[in-house]
C-alpha cells in the first residue's frame, strides 16, 4: 500500500494541478498600498492577495479606512498581465479594480460609484 501511495498516487496528484497556474506564478501573491494618512495618522488603502483555486482566479480583498475591514473573497480575471476584479456594492472599497501585476506591484485604476450614480477613477498603485 505504501508503494502505491508513494509511487502512484502522489505523482498523479502532482500532475493534476491546473496547468494555467504554472503559466503565471510570478503574478500570484500579496499586493498592498496601505499607508499612514498624512492627516490624522489613520491607515488607508487596500490589500489584495491574488490566488488561484479550483474555481479559477480569486482575490482576497481588504480595504482600510482608519481600521482594516473584514477580508472578502471575490473572483478575478487575469490574462497574463492585466488583473481585473470587482468589489461588490455594500462592501468597503466597492468598485472595479483593473491593472497590471508583475510580481511586485499592482499598478492600475480603481473605478467606484459616487452616491449620485456617476463613476470616478483613481490610481490604485
Which position has the higher pLDDT, 29 or 9?
29
Q: Residue 8: what are its φ and ψ, rounded to 5°?
A: -120, -55
Cα separation, 46 vs 125, whole angstroms: 10
Q: Contact, 79 vs 61, CB < 8 A? A: no
pTM of this prediction exceeds 0.85: no
pLDDT digits (tens, 9 = 90+) for 2-27: 444 344 344 444 444 444 444 556 67
Any idea where the domains of the chain sit in the sequence? 23-123
Cα separation, 123 vs 125, whole angstroms: 6
Cα separation, 67 vs 69, whole angstroms: 7
pLDDT reported for residue 36: 86
DSSP secondary structure code for residue 40 in this structure: T
Amino acid at each position: 500500500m505504501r508503494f502505491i501511495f508513494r509511487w502512484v498516487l502522489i505523482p498523479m496528484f502532482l500532475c493534476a494541478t491546473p496547468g494555467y497556474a504554472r503559466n503565471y506564478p510570478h503574478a500570484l501573491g500579496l499586493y498592498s498600498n496601505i499607508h499612514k494618512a498624512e492627516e490624522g495618522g489613520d491607515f488607508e488603502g487596500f490589500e489584495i492577495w491574488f490566488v488561484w483555486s479550483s474555481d479559477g482566479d480569486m482575490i482576497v480583498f481588504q480595504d482600510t479606512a482608519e481600521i482594516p475591514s473584514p477580508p472578502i473573497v471575490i473572483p478575478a480575471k487575469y490574462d497574463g498581465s492585466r488583473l481585473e476584479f470587482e468589489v461588490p456594492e455594500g462592501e468597503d472599497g466597492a468598485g472595479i479594480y483593473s491593472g497590471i501585476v508583475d510580481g511586485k506591484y499592482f499598478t492600475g485604476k480603481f473605478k467606484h460609484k459616487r452616491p449620485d450614480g456617476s463613476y470616478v477613477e483613481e490610481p490604485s498603485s
